[in-house]
Amino acid sequence: MKRIALVVSLAAAVGLMAISLGFAADKVKDIVDTAVAAGDFKTLATALKAADLVETLKGKGPFTVFAPTDAAFAKLPTGVLDDLLKPENKKKLADILTYHVVSGKVMAADVVKLTKAKTVEGTDVSIKVAGGKVTVNDAKVVKTDIACSNGVIHVLDTVLLPK
């Protein structure tokens, strides 16, 4: 009888562990779902959709995304964002958005060792560290290492514009 109780207890414990591990795995979302869930990236999500980049950033990756917040997009001159979201400007919008993406998963500890990084758009962003603060071009990195199932997000206070 004790053996049966022990086996049942062990089976229950293993089952609970498997369930909890399953839930833990489900909590790590891809880059797009993580950004949407955060609530500060509604404009970025809208732009990704307009540029047909949602499925790409939901893909396997890994990707490092320097993600501008809604407040960062609000700093753009009046009318610029509305213009970029028009279907006829899809390529220009995609170029701007892919300028925020680096191939691979580059955590903050590695970013601070770099002076530049090649973006998916094809050109480099400059990276500077001064006084414990990191900038990408002229944008301040305000939050780092938001882990995603297919990469990492670092949050920017300014939209990066390719030259």
**CATH number, residue 38:** 2.30.180.10
pLDDT of residue 132: 87
Identify the pLDDT of residue 26.
54
In a domain? residue 6: no
Q: Are the C-beta atoms of 64 and 34 separated by less than 8 Å?
A: no
Within a domain: 162: no
Q: Is residue 105 part of a domain?
A: yes
Is the pLDDT assigned to residue 10 strictly greater than 70?
no
pLDDT: is 24 or 68 the higher one?
68
Question: In the sheet that 116-118 helps form, which strands lie side by side, from edge to edge?
Answer: 101-103, 63-68, 151-156, 139-148, 133-136, 124-130, 116-118
Residue 111 placed within a domain: yes
Neighbours of 87 (CB within 10 A): 7
Residue of 15 and 27 predicted with greater confidence: 27
Half-sphere exposure of 2 (CA within 13 A, CB side): 0
1 occurs within a structural domain? no
Between residues 132 and 68, which one has the greater pLDDT? Answer: 68
Residue 5 belongs to some domain of the structure: no
Q: Which domain holds residue 112?
A: 29-156
pLDDT for 108 beyond 60: yes
Give the DSSP letter string of 118-129.
Answer: E-TTSSEEEEEE
User: Residues of the chain with pLDDT > 70: what percent?
Assistant: 84
Indicate whether 83 belongs to any domain.
yes
Q: Is the pLDDT of residue 151 over 50?
A: yes
Strands 63-68 and 139-148, sheet pairing: unpaired
Is 9 domain-assigned? no
CA nearest to 96, candidates 56, 48, 40: 48
Q: How many domains does the chain have?
A: 1
Residue 111 has pLDDT above 80, yes or no: yes
The reported pLDDT for the residue numbered 81 is: 95
Alpha helices, DSSP H only, in 51-152? 54-57, 70-74, 80-84, 90-98, 108-111
Average pLDDT value for residue range 117-137: 95
